[in-house]
């Protein structure tokens, strides 16, 4: 883009590393977050702080959002759209199909372009600039935003209409949660029966049960007892809930997703509000009376 200034609202565990990658790529990042601690971290990284969302929208043409809920995104947009300079909004949040369509209406009423770009890859991907960005926007806008996406990761276009990228993201996140819940359940059974968990994973990963939980999350975070995938369990619960609600609005029953959501709710109730998504395995361990740990680590 000709204009190397960009705004960023939402400097949490995903937003801050993305903002840092934009800074490294040479953008002048103007940032805002409701948290003083987050603002301080952004300033230390080289961002220029704004006093409010409206002040940010008075300074820059393009503003990225990385926010936790649809309600927060909407409240930010209702303030942002009155800015004197803002011309386009890139939403990196996961807010659902109907919320994205509503967000598009809010900004387009003021002539502001809406680009939705929910991301996959977690904190590790955000820091490394290897996220997958699922994008939907008008074709005429693509060339304007593609340079911004390059420091963040790989772009896959879902289409032009508002809500399409959100639909793809919710489908992905539901499957990701389902893989971890089901894999933790299956591995608890195998461990209880006497199979070494590391051996069970080796067998599964050479067979038809292989998935991202068995290849990465469980070996790296459960067997090692770190439990730090880097994605909050309560955010996974939010995403699966959004998926179920969107499906319900289209008349589609999702009984498996409902069971996954319940397991995530149980994990929060058991492990607390700050639980990592991998803590679902802790709950399974408690129920089975076992520990999912490799034989070598248990000596």
Q: What is the pLDDT of residue 299?
A: 32
Name the residue ranges covered by the structural domains of the chain: 5-162, 167-298
Rg of the chain in Å (alpha carbons): 20
What is the pLDDT, as a whole number, of residue 44? 97
DSSP state of 297: G
Distance CA 284, CA 8 (A): 39
Q: Which architecture, in CATH terms, is 167-298?
A: Orthogonal Bundle (1.10)
The architecture (CATH level 2) of 5-162 comes to: 3-Layer(aba) Sandwich (3.40)
> Per-residue confidence of the chain (299 residues) as pLDDT tens digits?
445 999 999 999 999 999 999 999 999 999 999 999 999 999 999 999 999 999 999 999 999 999 999 999 999 999 999 999 999 999 999 999 999 999 999 999 999 999 999 999 989 999 999 999 999 999 999 999 999 999 999 999 999 999 999 999 999 999 999 999 999 999 999 999 999 999 999 999 999 999 999 999 999 999 999 999 989 999 999 999 999 999 999 999 999 999 999 999 999 999 999 999 999 999 999 999 999 997 644 43
152 to 218, 226, 276, 282: CA distances (angstroms)? 26, 26, 23, 32
How far is it, in rounded angstroms, from Cα 55 to Cα 153? 28
Secondary structure class of 65 (helix, strand, coil): strand
CA-CA distance, 280 to 265, in Å (whole number)? 10
- Do residues 145 and 62 make contact, with C-beta atoms less than 8 angstroms apart? yes
Residue 230 pLDDT: 86
pLDDT of residue 250: 97
Residues tagged active-site:
169
């Amino acid at each position: 883009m000709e204009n190397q200034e960009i705004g960023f609202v939402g400097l949490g565990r995903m937003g801050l590393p993305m903002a840092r990658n934009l800074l490294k790529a040479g953008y002048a990042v103007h940032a805002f977050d409701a948290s003083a601690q987050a603002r301080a971290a952004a300033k230390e990284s080289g961002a220029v702080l704004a006093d409010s969302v409206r002040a940010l929208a008075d300074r820059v043409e393009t503003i990225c959002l990385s926010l936790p809920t649809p309600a927060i995104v909407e409240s930010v947009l209702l303030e942002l759209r009155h800015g004197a300079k803002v011309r386009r909004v890139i939403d990196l949040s996961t807010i659902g199909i109907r919320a994205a369509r509503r967000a598009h209406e809010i900004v387009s009423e003021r002539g502001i372009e809406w680009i939705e770009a929910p991301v996959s890859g977690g904190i590790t991907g955000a820091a490394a600039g290897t996220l997958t960005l699922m994008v939907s926007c008008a074709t005429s806008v693509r060339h304007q935003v593609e340079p911004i996406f390059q420091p963040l990761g790989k772009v896959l276009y879902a289409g032009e209409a508002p809500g399409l990228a959100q639909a793809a993201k919710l489908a992905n996140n539901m499957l990701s949660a389902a893989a971890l819940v089901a894999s933790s359940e299956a591995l608890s059974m195998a461990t209880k029966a006497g199979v070494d968990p590391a051996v069970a994973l080796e067998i599964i990963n050479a067979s038809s049960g292989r998935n991202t939980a068995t290849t990465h999350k469980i070996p790296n975070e459960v067997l090692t007892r770190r439990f730090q995938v880097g994605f909050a369990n309560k955010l996974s619960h939010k995403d699966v809930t959004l998926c179920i609600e969107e499906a319900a609005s289209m008349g589609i029953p999702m009984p498996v997703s409902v069971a996954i959501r319940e397991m995530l709710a149980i994990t929060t109730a058991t492990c607390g509000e700050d639980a990592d998504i991998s803590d679902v395995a802790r709950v399974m361990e408690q129920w089975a009376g076992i520990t999912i740990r490799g034989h070598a680590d248990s000596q």
